[in-house]
Structure 1
Amino acid sequence: MRILNSLIEQAKNPNGWVGSFMLRMMNTVHTGMNKWAFKKLPLEKDSIMLDIGCGGGKTIQALSKIIPEGKIYGIDYSEQAVKDSIQANFKDVETGKVTIFKADVTNAPFQEKFFDTITGFQTHYFWDDIESGVKEIFRILKHGGCVLLVAEVYKMNYHMESYKTKDEMEQLLINTGFHNVISYENKNKGWLMVKGSK
């Protein structure tokens, strides 16, 4: 049980060499999920994007190829994740196309109506206050912008006391002010994606 709890904590807030190893594993595991989700997301080549819980940086890498003229930000509350994500995107960080730093979704250090698109892969079930996190996403998203939250359903069920289902997640976005809220499920993989527009 102690080992399991330690692994869960490392998944939530990676640190040290164990955390770095887990981040590399996440990068590999999330590749298929990213490809599936991005097919449902209209992205302009010059979009300004935010990836919340950027982990090992693989999502940012994929986004950088899709939006060659855009700007991508990544935040994570794990110092190890920030370090590894910067390393994974080193060239884009050096040119200024990508900016990655430590921050919390419930208190995002961005001005209102800043982003065209905001993504969160395998992260929202770890947030201390998901309602505050979604409200903050709404604040920093431009009118007409889109949010995409993607996760494995079994992890949502394990980590969350509420908002475990597609209907609950959709209602959370609607209650926050999002419209055109829609969900997609990949039942073979057990993935759920909830998308909303501002």
Structure 2
Amino acid sequence: MFNKFFQNTRKPIGYGGSLMVNMMNIGHKSLSKWGHSHISPGLDANVLDIGCGGGANLLLFLKRCPKGKVCGIDYSPVSVKHSQKKNRRYIEEGRCEVKLGDVSKLPYGDNIFDFATAFETIYFWPNLEEAFKQVYRVLKSGGYFMICNEISDSENDQWSQRINGMHVYSADTLYPLLQRIGFVNLKKDIIKNGKGMCIIAQKS
């Protein structure tokens, strides 16, 4: 039962998924704050949060970018519903939208966003290289992609054996993929013992 419930970290479904989404909004708060400290989006920045979960990061960006637009995408209908509810005011104002979709085929045109973010989600992307190509495509020239994960060290990973389809990636694994696609000016910040990793990459 315990392991079944935690499958909802990959794709929240049903009542258990609703509980998980609420738990993630609370449990990831400190990691999110740490990740946000690495970037300085403009007041009018257009932002895409991929795997937006319960919508907490969307709300943070909406407050940081009061003249911009913030979009979220998730492949879980439960997550989309929660994100839409949490950010209803801004959706009604036209400053936010949340879509059901897949990172392997982002439903946006080219050169749209100043920032794209992925908080605690690339663990579950089935084809990282193709996903990163999609992120690169929707970013404006000079735009930034931020990856923020709590787990980046396989030796300290206690979850991938419990959660189907979860893969832990180190910065050494991600850097070559990002560079091959065309990202430049890569920077990383890693908390000791694999308790946090933030990577910033810029579209050339």
Same fold, TM exceeding 0.5?
yes
**Structure 1: gaps spanning 5 or more residues:** none
CA contact (8 A) 1:75 1:103 kept: yes
Aligned to 1:28: 26
| Aligned alpha-carbon RMSD (Å) | 1.6
Q: How does 1:68-87 map to 2 (within 5 A)?
A: 68-87=66-85
Alpha-carbon distance in 2 for matches of 1:88, 1:189: 30
The reply to whether residue 177 of structure 1 matches residue 182 of structure 2 is yes
CA contact (8 A) 1:170 1:182 kept: no
Alpha-carbon distance in 1 for matches of 2:107, 2:26: 29
Q: TM-score, normalised by structure 1?
A: 0.93
1:53 to partner: Cα distance: 0.3
The reply to whether residue 168 of structure 1 matches residue 173 of structure 2 is yes
**Structure 2: gaps spanning 5 or more residues:** 161-165
CA contact (8 A) 1:16 1:80 kept: yes
> 1:132 is matched with which residue: 96, 105, 130?
130
The reply to whether residue 196 of structure 1 matches residue 196 of structure 2 is no
SS at match of 1:164: coil
Alpha-carbon distance in 2 for matches of 1:186, 1:61: 25
User: What is the letter of the counterpart of residue 82 of structure 1?
Assistant: V
Distance 1:130 1:189, change over 3 A: closer
Q: TM-score, normalised by structure 2?
A: 0.90
Aligned length: 194
Alpha-carbon distance in 1 for matches of 2:173, 2:183: 14
Alpha-carbon distance in 2 for matches of 1:84, 1:125: 21
1:9 to partner: Cα distance: 2.4
Aligned to 1:141: 139
CA contact (8 A) 1:55 1:81 kept: yes
Q: Which has the bigger relative contact order, CA under 8 A and spacing at least 6?
A: 2
Identity of aligned residues (%): 32
CA deviations on 1:19-70 (whole Å, 9 max, x unpaired) are 0110000001111111111111121000001000000000001111111111
CA contact (8 A) 1:170 1:183 kept: no
